[in-house]
């Protein structure tokens, strides 16, 4: 079969050749930087190996004929592809044998990624011609992505090894349980379930629960790594997952430590509130990418964050500087199915309550659900109110009032959790002052919204 000369001048072919070499050369760049002695596989070896895969697979692609009308498709000539694959296998096997027999060094990482470079190049060659306006096809994009990920994994070898060495058996089991929750339950959760007259978006609730659990597990790993930073680190990162549980944990530590460093604990509570406010903003954007609700949440977000930072700055000026102590807490614990089930029940319960109140009591029901739900989970209220607005079930004003009221309630409810954990008034008074300072500006904003001074467009 004669190949047209014009084929050599196509931009697609030039891009394939460059990319076919680059996906292997990127991996080879990292391998060459780690080479202990000359003569090892590097940029040229990896790049040419992936280019070999690209040329072989592309030759098979251009010699095939697609089906047209009643004419069946004609497969390409696989001779070059088979030959190149055999050559690649010999090269990989030779590299493994040389490393094990001649150099007496263990490990087959280089050989594995060398074999992968051929496959990555072959993906580029097998890719379809990109559509108009696109530079790369799907297989080329996949090849580039995998090459970049391999480069990162190899480049951070020491960091990954150090992280794995510090992982306990309990943490590995926890990570596996979280993976099961995501990978196995994801395809089984239906989009909605019908509870009488109420259609519950069960998959959306599940999706948000998974996101918050992932944040919670990431917080555990971070706090474990930097636990010596004390209440500040725990308050901020713990607040992203569950600000109420974080403040309760800080208060219990405060009681166990003889009620010392009240200013340090109060700053941790402020940081937990700030993190909760930021998290709710993230959820709003996730559920309403248009930003319609978020633009009205932006002012309360700025008020709560700025007032919290100012209050925290004033507290830090008064505190006695000393070495932070490690904090033993319950919120920073590995993921478990029991904890996930309790979290999902609370989150789902608040979400369903909001749907019930909104269904039977319209907009006022949603406002009531926001106020009461904020005492338990402001994130669950956001998960209900924003999608209801997106579907037209509630007005923009109702959605804005709901998310702001739930957030403010979640700020103020810290006084209740502190009082339940410590009946002594010192920390309680600090938390009341902190939460009121953060909330007063938002209440003024809500009044302006209610009076129409800030129009809803």
Mind listing the pLDDT tens digit for each residue in 103-133?
A: 656 567 788 888 899 999 999 988 887 766 5
Averaged pLDDT, 142-149: 87
Mind listing the pLDDT tens digit for each residue in 351-407?
A: 788 888 877 778 888 888 888 888 888 888 888 889 888 888 888 889 999 999 999
Phi/psi of residue 401, each to 5°? -60, -40
Does residue 430 or residue 330 have the better pLDDT?
430
Q: Among 323, 313, 292, which residue's Cα sits nearest to residue 399?
A: 292
How far apart, in Å, are the Cα atoms of 426 and each of 24, 269, 423, 430, 433?
63, 14, 9, 7, 11
Mind listing the pLDDT tens digit for each residue in 162-207?
A: 655 666 666 666 677 777 777 777 778 888 788 777 777 777 777 7
Mark 230-265 as b/e (b = at least 16 C-beta within 10 Å).
bbbbbbbbbbbbbbbbbbbbbbbbbeeeeeebbbbb
Sort 368 into a burial class: Cβ within 10 Å, 0-12 / 13-18 / 19+: middle
d(CA 282, CA 408): 16
Report residue 80 as tokens. 């070059």
Does residue 209 or residue 266 have the better pLDDT?
266
Beta bridge partners of 198: 195
Residue 331 binned pLDDT confidence (cut-offs 50, 70, 90): very low
Q: Among 331, 298, 309, which residue's Cα sits nearest to residue 212?
A: 331
Q: Among 385, 410, 433, which residue's Cα sits nearest to residue 274?
A: 410
d(CA 220, CA 153): 22
Q: Which pLDDT score is estimated for 52?
A: 92
DSSP secondary structure letter of residue 37: S
| Mean pLDDT rounded to a whole number for the chain | 78
6 has pLDDT over 60: no
| Residue 23 contacts residue 147 (beta carbons within 8 Å) | yes
Instruction: Please report how the helices 262-287 and 231-256 are oriented relative to each other, as an axis angle in degrees rounded to 10.
Output: 130
Distance, first Cα to last Cα, the chain:
65
Q: Which pLDDT score is estimated for 118?
A: 92
The segment with the largest mean pLDDT, out of 246-255, 388-397, 448-457, is 388-397
Contacts of 208 (CB under 8 A, 6+ apart): 283, 347, 379, 383
Mind listing the pLDDT tens digit for each residue in 308-324?
A: 888 778 776 665 444 44
Q: Among 434, 443, 363, which residue's Cα sits nearest to residue 407?
A: 443
The segment with the largest mean pLDDT, out of 128-142, 282-296, 348-362, is 282-296
Q: Which pLDDT score is estimated for 35?
A: 63
Angle at 385 between CA 382 and CA 390, to 5 degrees: 115
Instruction: Please report how the helices 262-287 and 294-318 are oriented relative to each other, as an axis angle in degrees rounded to 10.
Output: 170
Residue 99, number of CB atoms within 10 A of its CB: 18
Residue 87, number of CB atoms within 10 A of its CB: 14
Instruction: Please report how the helices 43-62 and 11-33 are oriented relative to each other, as an axis angle in degrees rounded to 10.
Output: 150
Report residue 430 as tokens. 């600090």
Beta bridge partners of 195: 198
Q: Among 444, 438, 404, which residue's Cα sits nearest to residue 306?
A: 438
Averaged pLDDT, 302-313: 84
Q: Which pLDDT score is estimated for 332?
A: 43
Residue 199, number of CB atoms within 10 A of its CB: 13
Residue 180, number of CB atoms within 10 A of its CB: 11
d(CA 408, CA 449): 15
Residue 329 binned pLDDT confidence (cut-offs 50, 70, 90): very low
333 has pLDDT over 60: no
Q: Which pLDDT score is estimated for 334?
A: 46
Q: Which pLDDT score is estimated for 2?
A: 54
448 has pLDDT over 70: yes
d(CA 41, CA 219): 39
DSSP secondary structure letter of residue 227: G
Mind listing the pLDDT tens digit for each residue in 22-34?
A: 998 888 888 777 6
DSSP secondary structure letter of residue 188: G
Lowest mean pLDDT among 168-172, 341-345, 393-397, 417-421: 168-172
Q: What secondary structure does DSSP assign to 140-157, as a single string?
A: HHHHHHHHHHHHHHHHTH
Does residue 208 or residue 419 have the better pLDDT?
419
Mind listing the pLDDT tens digit for each residue in 213-233?
A: 776 666 666 656 655 455 677
């Amino acid at each position: 079969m004669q190949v047209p000369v014009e084929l050599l001048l196509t931009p697609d072919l030039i891009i394939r050749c460059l990319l076919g070499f680059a996906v292997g050369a990127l991996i080879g760049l990292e391998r060459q930087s780690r080479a202990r002695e000359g003569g090892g596989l590097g940029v040229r070896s990896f790049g040419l190996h992936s280019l070999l895969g690209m040329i072989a697979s592309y030759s098979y692609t251009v010699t095939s004929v697609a089906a047209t009308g009643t004419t069946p498709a004609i497969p390409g000539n696989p001779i070059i592809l088979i030959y190149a694959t055999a050559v690649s296998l010999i090269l990989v096997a030779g590299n493994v044998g040389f490393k094990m027999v001649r150099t007496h060094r263990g490990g087959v990482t280089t050989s594995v990624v060398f074999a992968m470079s051929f496959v990555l190049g072959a993906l580029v060659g097998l890719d379809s011609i990109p559509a108009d306006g696109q530079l790369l096809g799907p297989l080329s994009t996949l090849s580039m992505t995998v090459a970049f990920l391999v480069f990162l994994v190899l480049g951070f070898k020491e960091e990954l090894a150090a992280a794995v060495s510090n992982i306990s058996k309990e943490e590995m089991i926890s990570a596996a349980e979280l993976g099961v929750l995501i990978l196995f339950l994801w395809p089984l959760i239906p989009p909605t379930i019908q509870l009488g007259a109420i259609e519950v978006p069960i998959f959306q609730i599940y999706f948000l629960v998974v996101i918050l659990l992932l944040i919670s597990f990431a917080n555990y790993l971070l706090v474990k790594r930097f636990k010596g930073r004390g209440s500040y680190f725990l308050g901020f990162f713990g607040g992203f997952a569950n600000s109420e549980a974080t403040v309760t944990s800080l208060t219990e530590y405060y009681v166990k430590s003889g009620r010392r460093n009240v200013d340090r604990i109060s700053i941790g509570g402020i940081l937990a509130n700030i993190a909760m406010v930021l998290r709710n903003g993230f959820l709003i954007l996730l559920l309403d990418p248009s930003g319609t609700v978020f633009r009205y949440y932006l002012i309360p977000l700025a008020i709560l964050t700025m007032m919290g930072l100012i209050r925290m700055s004033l507290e830090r000026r008064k505190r006695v500087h000393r070495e932070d102590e490690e904090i033993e807490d319950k919120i920073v614990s590995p993921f478990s199915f029991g904890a996930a089930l309790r979290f999902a029940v609370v989150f789902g319960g608040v979400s369903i309550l909001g749907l019930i109140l909104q269904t039977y009591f319209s907009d006022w029901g949603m406002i009531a659900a926001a106020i009461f739900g904020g005492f338990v989970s402001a994130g669950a209220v956001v998960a209900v109110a924003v999608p209801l607005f997106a579907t037209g079930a509630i007005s923009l004003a109702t959605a804005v009032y709901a998310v702001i009221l739930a957030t403010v309630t979640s700020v103020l409810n810290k006084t209740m959790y502190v009082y339940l954990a410590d009946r002594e008034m010192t920390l309680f008074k600090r938390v009341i002052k902190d939460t009121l300072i953060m909330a007063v500006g938002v209440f003024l904003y809500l009044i302006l919204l209610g009076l129409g001074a800030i129009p809803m467009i």
